[in-house]
Amino acid sequence: MHSLNDPQLLREIIMDHYEHPRNRGLVDDDSYLKINMNSQTCIDNLDIQVKFDGDKIEDVRYDGEACAICTSSTSIMSELVKGKTKQEAQKIIDNYMNMIYEKDYDPEILEEAIAFQNTYKQANRIKCATLGWSGLVALMKESEE
């Protein structure tokens, strides 16, 4: 597990995912659900694709123009939920949102996503750190319809 108190390590996590985003790039495949997450108040603009296999999240893709915080938080999210059941993913999402909004959360389950634990100190970045995550939430909901 990562040390929660080592800003240097947390920075490196964000930079690594910003410079080498995982699961980036959209696929041309109708079996994916797709949503555009376009922050109305800032520049971040991501398309997000998720492929569900029954209850399982089989794949997560995204692409677009976004800042370091938005790109890296989405990259980490994609790695965390890929291969998980919707229920498992929901638990991760809930903990992540709790962390962002300064409520109780379990750092263990968030793995690298704990790099965003300071987001609340820069309130204008909350949108960046949650844009991709909110896209996943919307697509999970859509898959239930």
Partner 1 sequence: MFDVNQIRKDFPMLNGKKMQGHPLIYLDNGATTLKPQVVIESVCDYLTNYSGNAHRGDYDLSHEVDEHYEKSRDIVRQFINAKRKEEIVFTSGSTDSLNMIAYGYGLTHLKANDEILITVAEHASNTLPWFDVARLTGASVHYIDLDETGRLTLENVQKAVNENTKIIAVAEVTNVLGYQAPMKDICQFAHERGIVVVVDGAQSVPHQVTDVQETDIDFLAFSGHKMCGPTGIGVMYGKYDLLKDMKPTRLGGGSNSRYNSCGVVTLKDPPYRFEAGTPHIEGAIGLGAAMQYLMKIGMNHIHEYEQELRQYCIQKMLQLDNVEVYNPHSMGAIAFNIKGVFSQDAASLFNSYGIAIRAGQHCAKILDEFLKVSTTLRASFYFYNTKEEIDAFIEVCKKGDDFLDAFFK
Which residues in this chain contact partner 1 in the complex, by CB under 8 A?
A: 7, 10-11, 14-15, 42-44, 65-69, 118-119, 121-122, 124-125, 128
**Residue number, 48 or 128, with CB nearest to partner 1:** 128
Residue 65 dihedral angles phi and psi, to the nearest 5°: -115, 120
Residue with tokens 């634990």: 117
3-class DSSP state of 47: strand
Cβ pair 100, 125 in contact under 8 A: no
**Residue number, 20 or 31, with CB nearest to partner 1:** 20
Two tokens at 74?
């989405």
**Residue number, 55 or 65, with CB nearest to partner 1:** 65
Nearest approach, Cβ of residue 112 and partner 1 (Å): 14
